Amino acid sequence: MDAFYASVEQRDFPEYRGKPLIVGGLPEGRGGVVATASYEARKFGIRSAMPSKQALKLCPHALFVRPRFAAYKEVSQHIREIFSRYTDLIEPLSLDEAYLDVTEDKRNIGSAIDIAKEIKQAIKDELNLTASAGVSVNKFVAKVASDMQKPDGLTFIGPSAIESFIENLPVEKFYGVGRVTSDKMKRMGLFTGADLKKLNEDEMRRNFGKAGGFYYRIVRGIDDRPVQPHRETKSVGAEDTFSYDLTTAEEMEAELDKIAVLVNAGLIKNQLKGRTVTLKIKYSDFRQVTRSQSFSYFIDDEETIAATAKTLLAATDPDNSKVRLLGITLSNFTPIEVKVKGASDQLRLFEE
């Protein structure tokens, strides 16, 4: 979907249309984080996961609204029903994104491009919203293609075009390559898929760990992952690498507050509650440690996530450390709809 949360708000409230709209935390007080920005706001450089205070500086006349997740979930369920008219092989990634395998389409249309066109039109006719689609022979290429002509785009990358498409693709556009990794690649003189292709598999793994094997395959257009209708999200988390080393507990705790907001946003987006909070710390000498705490009940609120991460941090003697990265992950899930006795009823993020 195109700027999903913001598009729903602009559809439902005419006074927001044509204006730079930011859905997420408000910039007042401690400040929140941008969940989604309308295309009018994106022209000012505003992006998801950006602190709301920073977004306000970039666009002082922007409108800020709190998310209405019940409304987004209702729209998402309708979209999922549209998908199911064409195939049963649907792998949701979040409320606003999914992979579809239409090898055997239920309506016998026989063309993935035509199916994508029909789905886009149905979403427009029934929900007054726009979607963008990528059509190709595997998940990686289809995913990248879906971002090529937003909003309201449809991009087809056929088998004969995959090699040149990937070779010309900037490394930051590779799905799964975040800011930190893309910066590292550029420092190594790797700017495009063609540059990555020059490295053999051992070199890729040596420089990028286990992900290097994945990059080695996808830069050659190889992605055999099937569409998994019942794929489980095993963890939701966020992390940040800092431009300078953090040296005080106060600095680290302030960053953990921001990261907890992103983790909580991921939980709501994926409709999950978890029992295990894991803190990740990477020091200036690249030594890395993790600390975890599990609860007897399920949690999904940013205050508990942040407080737990701070408690785990305190046990590591933070004031005598130089920290370059912090991350928080929540795992050990139950779907949010499942009511567990004693559970709290209390919004580049990663999922595994």
CA-based max dimension of the chain? 65
Taking the alpha carbons at both ends of the chain, their separation in whole angstroms is 22
Contacts for 48-53 with beta carbons within 8 Å, 24 or more apart? 49/238, 49/262, 49/348, 49/349, 51/258, 52/22, 52/24, 52/25, 52/26, 52/27, 53/27
| Positions marked catalytic | 97
Structure letter (DSSP) for residue 348: -
Report CA dihedral (276, 281, 286, 287) to the nearest 10 degrees: -70
- Which is it for the CA torsion 288, 324, 256, 239, positive or negative? negative
Residue 299 · residue 276 · CB < 8 Å: no
Judged by phi (left if over 0) then psi (alpha if -120 to 50, else beta), residue 343 lies in beta
Total Cβ atoms within 10 A of residue 233: 18
Closest Cα to residue 193, out of 210, 213, 216, 211? 216
Say how many CA atoms lie within 13 Å of 305 toward its Cβ. 32
Neighbouring CB atoms inside 10 A of 256's CB total: 24
Q: Which tokens in the block code for residue 205?
A: 């793994």
Sign of CA dihedral 41, 35, 245, 175: negative
Q: Do residues 78 and 217 lie in contact, with contact meaning Cβ atoms separated by under 8 Å?
A: no
Tell me the one-letter amino acid at 92.
P
Distance CA 123, CA 63 (A): 26
The token pair at 333 is 């899930």
Beta-bridge mates of residue 246: 323
